[in-house]
Amino acid sequence: MTQYLLSVYVSDEAMANVAEADMQAAFAAVDTFNAELRDAGAWVFGGGLHPANTATVVTPKDRDTVVTDGPFAETKEYLGGFWIVEAPDLDAALAIAKQASVACGGPVEVRPFQDEPAE
């Protein structure tokens, strides 16, 4: 089994235009999807994130670090949530991502984790 990261990207503009009833329906759909992942044995971890403006960035500088408020990337879209799932191959991970995309109402990026180095 390979682990895959399923990433959901959102924007402040898109989130501001979602009606409360639609947001609650999306939460319910994602809860149902999460239960299905668990029942199928594909669930590893998942969660939603607060908006990018709540981020804090720690950056190495001159053998020390600098801590700054705000997101690292200057972009309209940001990581809104994610799942880590186990699937036998990319096709199976894409099938899971299709369900995730419907549940959360947005695009879902699928990326495999790197293999652990052999000991």
Q: Residue 48's domain spans which residues?
A: 2-112
Give me the CATH number covering residue 9.
3.30.70.1060
Residue 118 lies in a domain: no
Coil/strand/helix, residue 95: helix
The mean pLDDT of 37-54, rounded to a whole number, is 93
Amino acid sitting at position 98? K
Q: State the pTM of this model.
A: 0.86
The reported pLDDT for the residue numbered 115 is 83
Query: Encoding tokens for residue 71?
Result: 């997101």
Q: What is the pLDDT of residues 82-97, one digit of tens each?
A: 999 999 999 999 999 9
Residue pair 6/99 in contact (Cβ under 8 Å)? The answer is no
